[in-house]
Amino acid sequence: MLLNLIDSCKRRLLGYEKHTVIRLSTLLDPRFKKEGFLFSHNVSESVKALETELTQHNKNPAVYKSEPPTPTETATPNQQLFAFLKSNIAKKPRAERVDAILSLRNFYESPNLDQDSNPLDYWKNMNGNDALKACCKKLLCIPAT
């Protein structure tokens, strides 16, 4: 009888793993992350969807100047060199997808929270990675029904 009840719950709740908002919220919950899924296929699809969401968030058009800033006459040679390097770094194209993958990898490799912890407090107190925080604000605010 217990096995029948477990099978019935699995069949009934399995469809929820395929809903985009629910699976992204599960991934972003620091208590569960990838372990909150029953099937690994749903995990891989969810990771791809979250990477796409973060990539869209990271795409901010940057306005670059076409020429490096001219150094001032009082600048030392080291300051001139570093100003030129900063200019080159600013001109370097950004790979939004790579940034999304790296930030997610850092999140997944961090230890999971205890089951009694509040995931909203975790994201509120987390420093850095504004893209992940923005996705959490967007996805974790949806009330469960």
pLDDT in tens, 103-135: 889 888 888 888 888 888 888 888 777 788 888
Q: Answer yes or no: pTM beyond 0.75.
A: no
Q: Is residue 78 part of a domain?
A: yes
Mean pLDDT per 10-residue interval, the chain, length 145 residues: 86 80 87 85 89 82 40 60 72 76 88 86 81 84 65
Q: Is residue 144 part of a domain?
A: no
The domain in which residue 103 lies consists of 2-60+68-139
Q: How far is CA 104 from CA 40, 57, 66, 119, in A?
A: 17, 13, 33, 16
> Is residue 100 packed enough to be buried (19+ CB in 10 Å), middle (13-18) or exposed (0-12)?
buried
Using only the alpha carbons of the chain, give its radius of gyration.
22
Give the pLDDT score at 68: 46
Quote the number of domains for the chain.
1
Give the pLDDT score at 94: 66
Q: Is residue 21 part of a domain?
A: yes
d(Cα 123, Cα 85) in Å, to the nearest integer?
A: 34
Give the pLDDT score at 65: 34
Q: Is residue 17 part of a domain?
A: yes
Q: Is residue 145 part of a domain?
A: no
Q: Is residue 134 part of a domain?
A: yes
Give the pLDDT score at 78: 64
Which pair of tokens denotes residue 95?
């790979």
